[in-house]
Structure 1
Amino acid sequence: MTAPLKDIRVLDFSTLLPGPMATLFLAEAGAEVIKIERPGRGEEMRSYDPKWGQDSANFAMLNRGKKSLALDLKDPAQRARLIPLLKDVDIVVEQFRPGVMARLGLSYEDIAAINPEIIYCSITGYGQSGPKAARAGHDLNYIGDSGLLALSCGRPEAPVLPPALIADIAGGTYPAVFNILLALRDRDQTGKGAHLDISMSDNLFPFMYWAMAEGQTTHQWPGNGDALVTGGSPRYRLYPTSDGRFVAAAPIEEKFWQAFADAIDLPDDLRDDTHDPAATAQAVGARIADKPADHWRAAFERADCCCTVVQTLQEALQDPHFQSRGLLEHEVENTDGARQIALPVPVAGQFRTAPHAARAPTLGADNDLAPQATPNTGDTE
């Protein structure tokens, strides 16, 4: 196995989720990641519940294998301790609102002046420019502003929140990582660094390729839950079972639809779902609701028709398929020596070290990486 980023050093000024997950991916590919944290409490994620050892379980998951340097960035003397590191670091990741790093004297221009090859990645909700650039927001705001949330947000009497922080991870983490890798490749060719402007809201539009295509072509824009992949078709829905579980039915193609219809014994006069989609969906729902999840799990395994029973996360972690893939072999260890499954990362196995247990850093554990300058006393012999 090789670690393609083993010679890469990262200074990570980010907190919470998008940036820390991005630098986790880089660390898992061999990069040395040094978190810059405020003294005393460290980054906010350390205090989250549930606690696991000294810090939170969330912090342990996202910061496995990193280092920690505790500095008060508002103190010029402490900030100056970063200069030796900044001279030979490869990547800076920051997640403040636009202008904050500049006020600290740590903007891209400030750092590029001492290290022209720096790759400086700024992750924000709305980007470094534009009318909303300075606006506060969280994941729900970004998916709401981009139009993504409106495509499937439940009924007014029962709004549905997405089960994942889509903007943070898919709009922030993933674009940050692949643009950093692109910048590294470009630097190999040109010798030049780059400032990467990663906007979580900007990066949500690829998820709506189908809605953009449909709306612009037909001038009939998809609404809330009325399109093929958002619940507007009987062929792509969640159907409750008799024991309170759900079937994830996705037999879109005709061959899968017919196999699905056979498996649930759908009457022939309802198999043409273009005639009366609502009636077909109602009949499918009634058939699924008549039997428990175990019945349908076996039936759909035989039918192989793009239908499954929705698993809980606990069930997924015990699924022989994911276990056989080696997805869950890496571990994270806390300060008490307890271990649990580490967060799986999308780094191909050949680019990671062998499965092992690693810890998130204790606050300031690596302060020796930026020692204080020795005072010049002016003594003479």
Structure 2
Amino acid sequence: MTTDIRPLDGIRVLDLSTLLPGPLGTLFLAEAGADVIKIERPGHGDEMRSYVPKLGEASANYAVLNRGKRAFAADLKDPADRDRVLDLAASADVVMEQFRPGVADRLGLGYDQVRARNPKIVYCSITGYGQTGPHTARAGHDLNYLAESGLLGVVTDGTGAPQLPVSVLADIAGGSYPAVLNILLALRQRDLTGRGSRLDISMAHNLQVLAYGYFAAHQGSGEWPRPGREQLTGGSPRYRIYSTSDGRHVAVGALERKFWERLAVLIGLPARLVDDEGQEDVVIAAVAERIGAHPAEYWRKVFDGEDVCATVVSTWDEAVDAGLVEPDRPERLTGPGFDVGTLRSPLDPALRGTPGAVGYPSLDPLPADVGGLWR
């Protein structure tokens, strides 16, 4: 829908996070109308600013994740700067932080310190392993959380080795998304009760949502998934990736019988192999042989217009040509379902030289309406 009022108009977010999980979460909030104030270290700012490729002075990654926000410099170890940031927290609705457990408290910006100034604050912490427990102080990145959760090992190659994931699943699905969801729930709860909330977002623990099927199977059978052998991890001929004769690939997701039976007709699978239960390996080999006999373009034409849940694995250029990827429309990144046309890129020429514009070469002082800060 298109409306002049966005859901989070009037909500102020103080963003102390860096890199991906927190900034992507606050991007969702900015696109919903929130005023996001991002605090970065003096001089170089968020480390993601230095990534390549660049869009002007900032990296492309930084520009996409932080558009529509205002960025300012503060040395959180300096008491004067810290106090100014605490003043901001006192006027905010949401604080997002991504320090290791205990760091924000030592800086004087922890939940108890902010709540003392602002009892209605929704204070969200994203960490690798949560605020409590035996792993809280450990360093980690997306791949580590996937590895320790058990998820990384459920899909393996022919040698039994796990593969790198297609994206940073823990950061986004275990960090950004649950943070935004719980912030919105906490704001609604605040509407009803007048009380703020403390949100503890553990990326490693939230990966259990992605593993829901494995937990359900364990409850029913007492068994954990066998690497590469379950229905969705390579054990079924109906849900696999097959090579074509020209080195491309076809993704088959024909789980339902009607799709599988039609696919069998299209690829010439013998009738005796259509019932794949109990002979999965034989059927996998037969499907691989038939798909491997022709190039990708042949299969693209065969599957065109057919309901078989089988598709050629696209290159990025092909995905763009098909309209499924729109690289020149970064506002589609989060796709909130309402008008975000007023959110400009942080490197929009109209914002150049504007104090507080994200992507501006220096980190500028805060304007007077949010505390009259510095630098």
Provide the C-alpha distance between the structure 1 equivalents of 2:161 and 2:225, rounded to a whole number of angstroms.
Answer: 20
SS at structure 1 position matched to 2:77: coil
- Contact residue 124 and residue 179 of structure 2 kept, 8 A: yes
Deviation at 1:355, TM superposition (A): 6.6
Compared CA separation, residues 288 and 366, structure 1 to 2 (3 A): farther
The match for 2:311 is 308
User: Where does residue 30 of structure 1 map in the other structure?
Assistant: 33
Answer yes or no: is 1:358 the counterpart of 2:357.
Answer: no
Structure 1 position 299, deviation (Å): 1.3
Q: Is the 8 A contact 2:63 2:345 kept in 1?
A: no
1:348 maps to 336
Question: Could you tell me how far apart the structure 2 residues matched to 1:87 and 1:116 are?
Answer: 9
Instruction: Give the alignment partner of residue 130 of structure 1, picking from 126, 133, 140.
Output: 133
The alignment's TM-score, normalised by the length of structure 2, stands at: 0.91
Q: 2:179 aligns with which of 162, 167, 176?
A: 176
In structure 2, the partner of 1:290 is 293
Unmatched 5+ stretches in structure 2: 347-357
CA 1:48–1:5: 2 relative to 1, 3 Å: same
Q: 1:191, 1:355 → 2: CA distance?
A: 31
- 8 Å Cα contact 2:27-2:66 kept in structure 1: yes
Q: Tell me, what secondary structure is at the counterpart of 2:81?
A: helix
Report the TM-score when normalising by structure 1.
Answer: 0.89
Q: Secondary structure at the match of 2:213?
A: helix
- In 2, Cα distance between equivalents of 1:86 and 1:356: 24
Contact 2:170 2:204 in 1 (8 A): yes
Deviations 1:125-168 (A, max 9, x none): 00000000111111111111111112114344754111111100
CA shift digits 1:255-292 (9 cap, x unpaired): 11100001111112222212421111111001111111
SS class of match (1:205): coil
Gaps of 5+ in 1: 332-339, 374-381
Instruction: Say whether the 8 Å CA contact 1:25–1:345 is kept in structure 2.
Output: no
Aligned residues: 357
Give the distance between the partners of 2:371 and 2:156, measured in 1 at CA: 48
Query: Does the 8 A contact of 1:154 with 1:224 survive in 2?
Result: no
Deviation at 1:195, TM superposition (A): 0.7
| Percentage of pairs with the same residue | 52
Q: Distance in 2 between matches of 1:30 and 1:314?
A: 33
Match of 1:268 among 267, 271, 275: 271
Residue number in structure 2 paired with 1:119: 122
Amino acid corresponding to residue 172 of structure 1 in structure 2: G
The separation in 2 between residues aligned to 1:275 and 1:227, in whole angstroms, is 13
- The letter of the residue matching 2:363 is G
Supply the distance in 1 between the matched residues of 2:80 and 2:341 (Cα, whole angstroms): 40
- Give the counterpart letter for 2:359 in structure 1: P
Counterpart secondary structure, 1:23: helix
Q: Which of 243, 253, 258 matches 1:250?
A: 253
CA-to-aligned-CA distance 1:300-357 (integer Å, 9 cap, x gap): 123211111111233223323x37xxxx4xx8xxxxxxxx43153334332x332764
Mapped to 2, the partners of 1:301 and 1:59 lie a distance apart of 38
- The letter of the residue matching 1:361 is G
CA contact (8 A) 1:82 1:370 kept: no
Residue identity in the other structure for 1:341: R
Give, in angstroms, the shift of residue 244 of structure 1: 1.5
- Alignment partners' CA distance in 1, 2:40 and 2:257: 55
Matches of 2:341 and 2:54, distance apart in 1: 28
> Counterpart amino acid of 2:318?
E
Name the residue aligned to 2:6. 3
After superposing the two structures, state which structure 1 stretch, 179-188 or 201-210, moved more: 201-210
Q: Higher relative contact order at CA 8 Å, sep ≥6: structure 1 or structure 2?
A: 1
